[in-house]
Amino acid sequence: QAPRTVLVPGCSSGIGLAVAVRLAQDPQQRFQVIATMRDLRKKEKLEEAAGSALGKTLNIQRLDVCSDSSVAECMGSIPGGRVDVLVNNAGVGHVGPVESISMEEMKRIFETNFFGAVRMIKAVLPDMKRRQSGHIVVISSVMGLQGIVFNDVYAASKFAVEGFCESLAVQLLQFNVFVSMVEPGPVNTDFELKLMEEVSRSEFPGTDPATVRYFKDVYLPASHEIFTTLGQSPTDVAEAIVNVIGARRPAFRTQTNRLYTPLVALKYADPSGDL
């Protein structure tokens, strides 16, 4: 059986890097990976991690999920434009009191986390439907199921992706195209630690002092504690993604951290939303 072509945006670090490398180094050589990133100056870490797979089962290309022309260029360079599996991973994090977040900043988050994911799905979908074969894997978050305090905009962007994919998944079944949401909880990455550090030093114009105090003195320390004690590594999440890709009939939802699965059960068990 010929290897499946897997397109992975957002591979310069974290989950994207880990999953691209894990797929490329698959012992059964089931995958040919196109690992992409917006800025190719950041490819060194990926090249190093890929090792002997580089140039064989893993090729690096430039792709900006926020740009129509960049997506078209990348798709045009893939032989026959054929993508068997899309791992929609590119995303940006954001945390803080909503009063201090500009509308422009909110749009930027949605541009990557929602419209970027949609742009990629639209790029691969016509060919998948034509071939009646394909798998769209979207890296969402438990925050796409449950809003968390001070993560208002990030959660909203993930809720949007979840709703979009939940609607789309039903329609695509008749074309034998599967959609899978992978929903990690906290993941220990340099990106997360850097974000927390930057935020702890930030000023929050337009936000009342009580909210700023609660954010800095209660939320941030608690969040840091959760990331360090309950957080998974990108490698753990990558392993879960590989299992989803390898499944004969992949589930629509997979939480990579079992500690967070009860959240989903609670959410769907309580129509009032009071739980």
Which residues contribute to the annotated binding site for NADP(+)? 10-38, 64, 158
Could you tell me whether strands 4-8 and 31-37 are parallel, antiparallel, or unpaired per DSSP bridges?
parallel
Annotated binding site: 10-38, 64, 141, 158
CA distance 270 to 76: 47
CA distance 157 to 99: 17
User: Which residues are identified as catalytic?
Assistant: 154
Could you tell me whether strands 85-88 and 134-139 are parallel, antiparallel, or unpaired per DSSP bridges?
parallel
CA angle 175, 177, 180 (to 5 degrees): 150
Give the strand order in the sheet containing 177-183.
58-62, 31-37, 4-8, 85-88, 134-139, 177-183, 253-255
Query: Residue 203: exposed, middle, or buried by beta-carbon count in 10 A (0-12, 13-18, 19+)?
Result: exposed
